[in-house]
Amino acid sequence: MNEHAELTIRLQGHLDICQQLLTIIEKETNLLRSGEQAAVFDIYQSKKQLLPKLKESVAGLKEKRVNLQDVTVEKRNYPPEVSRLMQKNQDLIMKMIVLDRENEQLLLRRGLLGPRELPSAQVQKPHFVADLYKRQSLK
C-alpha cells in the first residue's frame, strides 16, 4: 500500500473517531441545556471509553507525518482526497473545541465543575496563542 493510500485510511479513521466524539459532545450540550445533570456522568464515561482510540489515531497520524516529512516536496503530491480529509478533520476538531468550551461554561454555571478543573487564564484569552507566536517570531 502506498503512503497516500495509508494516509487516507488513517485520516478517514480519525475523522470517524472525531465524529463519534462530536456526537457525544452534542449530546452533552443538549443534556446540559435541558438541565439533566444525572446523565452527565454517562457522557463522561463515553468520552473516557473513546479516549484510547483517539490517542491511537493521533499517534498513527503523527507517525505518518514524521514519515512524510522525510519525503521531498515533489514526491509529496497529495491526492485531492487527502487534502479534503485534512480539512474535514480540522473543521470537525474546531467544532468540537467550541462546543466543549460551551459545555465547560454550562458545567461551571451549574457548579458541576470543581476548582481544579477550571480553565487556565490563557484559555479565556482568545488571542493568547497568536500573541505567543508573534512574540516568538520577533526574537
| 48-87 pLDDT per residue, tens | 999 999 999 999 988 888 777 776 666 667 778 888 998 9
Residue 32's alpha-carbon distances to 35, 53, 92, 97, 104, in angstroms, are 5, 25, 21, 16, 10
Helix (H, G, I), strand (E, B) or coil at 40: helix
**Nearest-angstrom CA–CA distance, 3 and 96:** 28
**Nearest-angstrom CA–CA distance, 93 and 17:** 11
Q: In the chain, what percentage of residues exceed pLDDT 70?
A: 77
Mean pLDDT, all residues of the chain = 82
Q: In the chain, what percentage of residues exceed pLDDT 90?
A: 35
The separation between the first and the last C-alpha atoms of the chain, rounded to the nearest angstrom, is 44
CATH code, 3-138 = 1.20.58
**Nearest-angstrom CA–CA distance, 61 and 96:** 19
DSSP class of residue 71?
S
Instruction: Give me the mean pLDDT over the 121-134 stretch.
Output: 65
* Predicted TM-score of the model (pTM): 0.74
